[in-house]
Chains A and B, each alone.
Chain A
Amino acid sequence: MADALDTLVIVQLRELMGDEFGAVVAAFLADSAARMKDVELALGHTDCERASRAAHALKGMCLNMGANTLSKALAALESAARNGDAAALPPLWQVVQNEYPKARAAAEGLVRH
C-alpha cells in the first residue's frame, strides 16, 4: 500500500478533508473506474485523441490521491496516445492495468478503517 499511494499526500488529504475524507476517496474510486472504462473503450476504437484525454483526466485525479506510480504510467500512455504512437499503446496500457488495482485497493483500505 505504501507503494501504491504516497503516505504524505494521504496524511495531508485526511487533514484537509476532515469528515469528507471518506467521500473524496469514494469519489476517486468511482471517477477513476469510469475513466479506466473510457480509456479502454477509446483504445478499443483506436481513438487516440479520446484515449489521451481520458488518460490525462485520470492522471490528474491520481496525482491528487498520491497514486504516483499509476500517474506515471498514465502520463506515458497519455503522451503516446497524443502522439498517435499506436504501437506503443498496448504495453503502456498493460502497465496501467497492472497498477490500477493496487492503487484502488490501497484507497479502499483507507476508508475501511
Chain B
Amino acid sequence: MTNAMRVLIADDNEGDRMLLSAIVRREGHQVISAVDGADALAKFDADAPQIVLLDALMPNVDGFEAAREIKSRTRDSFVPIVFLTSLTEAGELARCLDAGGDDFLSKPYNPIILRAKLAALARMRHLHTTLAAQRDEIAMYNTRLMREQDAAKRIFDRIAHQGCLSTNVINYLMSPLALFNGDVLLAARNPAGNMYIFVGDFTGHGLQASIGAMPLAEIFYGMTPKGFGMCDVVREINRKLKDILPIGYFCCATMIDVSFHKGTVEVWAGGLPDAYLYRAQTAKPTRIGSRHLPLGVVSTERFDASTDVYYLAPGDRILMCTDGVLELRNPGGEMYGTDRLEVLLSSLPPGAPAFERVKAELDQHMGSAGREDDITLVEVTMHDAADVLAPTPDIDQGNAQVAHDWSLVYELKPDSLKHSNPLPILQNVLTEVPALRARSATIFTVLSELYANALEHGVMGLSSDTKTSANGFSRYYRRRAELLDALDAGFVRFELRSRSDADGGRLEIRIIDSGAGFDAHGAAYSESTYHGRGIPLVRDLADSLVFRGNGNDVKAVLCWGKGAGDG
C-alpha cells in the first residue's frame, strides 16, 4: 500500500476497536487507538492522524463533541472523520454530519466497504491538500506579483514618466486601467529647446502592453537630449518595436516636435485617432489625420518617417488622444465617439480651455460606468520661447576651468547628407568640454540652424519664401524630402575650433556648403527671407555671425568669460 495513512480509531469497546484496528492495519495503514473521546483528542494532537474513525457514543467526551473539536483544530487542512455507528435514525445520522462527520461506517464492520471508504477519503484528502496547496501558491504568487508590479511600476514610472510633462505647455489626463498602462506619454526637450512629445497606445492592456513602453521610453529619452531629429527618434523606436514585439502587436503613436523659437509643430502620426489643431483666433478646429502605419509594423527599410509641419502662434493648441477616449462608454454602453468630440470642439469659442471642457465632458459621459480602456488626452499649447522654461543645463563647474584648444573638420558627402544626422555626433564632441556643456542649448541651436540652412538652401537650393504661409510649410518639407532623396552631389563641411583658459573661451563654428550662395539668386532676396526664420535666431544667440564668399560660407562665434583672444 503506497498511500499509507495514520488512522485514529476511537471506540470504548475493546473488541470492536481490535476488530477495526485489524481491518485498518491489514489495509497497510498505521493505527492509533483511543479508548474514549478525551483520549482521542489527546492522541489527535500528539500523533496528527490523517483520518479519524470515531464511535459516536463514548464516555467522557463523546464522538460528536470530539468531531467538532477536531474540525475546529484543522481549519486549514482536511482530516476526514468517519462515525462508527449502527445508528439508523435519520436524526442521529444528521447529528453526526452536523458535528463535522464526513462519512459513516456501520456495524458489523465489513472490510470491503471499509477499504473502499478509506480509499475514497484518501482521494478527498489528496484533492483537498492539492487544492489548499494551490490556493496558497496562488495567494503567494499574487502577493509576489503585486509586490513585483509595484516595484516594476516605480521603475517604469521613472523611465517612462520623467521628462517635462508638467510644464505650462502640456495639459494631460492619463487613466491607467490596470496598475500598468497600455498608453505611453513622453515629453522631453532637445538641446535646442524644442519639445518632443510622444503619445502612444500599445495593443492590449497591462503588463504585456506596457513592456514595449520601456525600450520606447529609453530610446526617446536617450536620443532627444542628444539632438537627434524627431524622424530619427521615430525611426529608431519603430526599428526597436519591430524587433521585440510579437506579430500582431504594435504601438499606435503620434509624435510631435514643438519649436517655440520658430513657432512650428512637426507631426508624425501613425494609427492614433485624429489630432486637432485649434487656433486662439479662429473657432473651427483642423483635423490632423494619421498618415502612417503604427510603430512596430513595418521594417526599417519600408518605414516612412515623413512629417507634416504646422505653424502655430502662441495660444494655438493641438489636442491628441488615444482611442480609449473615443471608446469610452456611458452607463448605457454608448461610446463617446469622434462626433461628440468634434461637436464639442467646434462649439468652443476661440481660445477657450478645450482640454478642461473635453475632460469635463468625458467625466459626464462616463457617469457611473467604469473605464474600459486606457485613456490618454493631451493638449499642447504653443508659447513664446521666452515663456517656456529652458532645459536645465548640466553644468559641471568643477571642470570649467580646464584649458583646451582644438579644432575639428567634418565633411558630409551626398550619401551622408541623405542618411545621417551629423548633429548628435558634433553635439557629443562639443559637450565633452565642460565649458561648452553649460552652453549646449545655444550651441545646438546655432549648429542645427546653420546646418539646416547649408543643406536646404545651400546644397539643395531650396527657397524659404514658401515657408511664410502655413500651407507652404508642408509644400516646403515635401520638396525638401524629394530633393534630399535625389541628391547625388554636394557637401557640407563643418570646421569647429574651440579654445579656452581659466578666464574664458571661444567657439568658432564655420560651415561651408557646396551651394551657389545667395548672390546667385539675385538681389531680390534679402538675407532673412533667403535663410528663413533660423538666421535671425542665430544672430541673437551668437556673439558674431559673418557670411563670406557667396553666402555659402558662414562663421558663428560664441564667447564666454573674457573670451580667449581673437581667432
User: A residues bordering B, Cβ < 8 Å?
Assistant: 9, 12-13, 16-17, 20, 23-25, 27-28, 30-31, 53, 56-57, 59-61, 63-66
- CB-defined contacts of B85 to chain A, threshold 8 Å: 60
A16-B26, A31-B13, A66-B108 given; A60·B86 CB < 8 A: yes
- CB-defined contacts of A57 to chain B, threshold 8 Å: 12-13, 57
Q: How far is the CB of A106 from chain B (nearest CB, A)?
A: 15
Q: How far is the CA of A56 from the CA of B108 in the complex (A)?
A: 13
Q: How far is the CB of B58 from chain A (nearest CB, A)?
A: 9
Q: How far is the CA of A23 from the CA of B21 in the complex (A)?
A: 13
**A56: nearest residue on chain B (CB-CB)?**
B57
Judge whether A27 and B111 touch: CB under 8 Å: no
User: B residues bordering A, Cβ < 8 Å?
Assistant: 12-16, 18-19, 22-23, 26, 57, 84-87, 107-109, 111
Q: How far is the CA of A61 from the CA of B11 in the complex (A)?
A: 11
Q: How far is the CA of A59 from the CA of B55 in the complex (A)?
A: 13
**B14: nearest residue on chain A (CB-CB)?**
A27
Q: How far is the CA of A61 from the CA of B55 in the complex (A)?
A: 12
Can you list 24 pairs linking A and B with CB atoms under 8 Å apart?
A9-B108, A13-B19, A16-B19, A16-B26, A17-B19, A17-B22, A20-B18, A20-B22, A25-B15, A27-B14, A27-B15, A31-B16, A53-B57, A56-B57, A56-B87, A57-B12, A57-B13, A57-B57, A60-B84, A61-B13, A63-B86, A64-B109, A65-B15, A66-B108
- CB-defined contacts of A63 to chain B, threshold 8 Å: 86, 107-108
Contact of A60 among B13, B22, B111 (CB under 8 A): B13
- CB-defined contacts of B26 to chain A, threshold 8 Å: 16
**B62: nearest residue on chain A (CB-CB)?**
A53
Q: How far is the CA of A60 from the CA of B19 in the complex (A)?
A: 12
A30-B14, A31-B14, A56-B86 given; A64·B57 CB < 8 A: no
Q: How far is the CB of B551 from chain A (nearest CB, A)?
A: 117
Judge whether B22 and A23 touch: CB under 8 Å: no
A57-B57, A59-B86 given; A64·B23 CB < 8 A: no
**B18: nearest residue on chain A (CB-CB)?**
A24
Q: How far is the CA of A66 from the CA of B19 in the complex (A)?
A: 13
- CB-defined contacts of B86 to chain A, threshold 8 Å: 56, 59-60, 63
- CB-defined contacts of A12 to chain B, threshold 8 Å: 111
A16-B111, A66-B108 given; A24·B19 CB < 8 A: yes
Judge whether A23 and B57 touch: CB under 8 Å: no
Judge whether B15 and A31 touch: CB under 8 Å: yes
A56-B57, A57-B13, A60-B86 given; A23·B111 CB < 8 A: no
Judge whether B22 and A28 touch: CB under 8 Å: no
- CB-defined contacts of A16 to chain B, threshold 8 Å: 19, 22-23, 26, 111
Q: How far is the CB of B105 from chain A (nearest CB, A)?
A: 11
- CB-defined contacts of A56 to chain B, threshold 8 Å: 57, 86-87
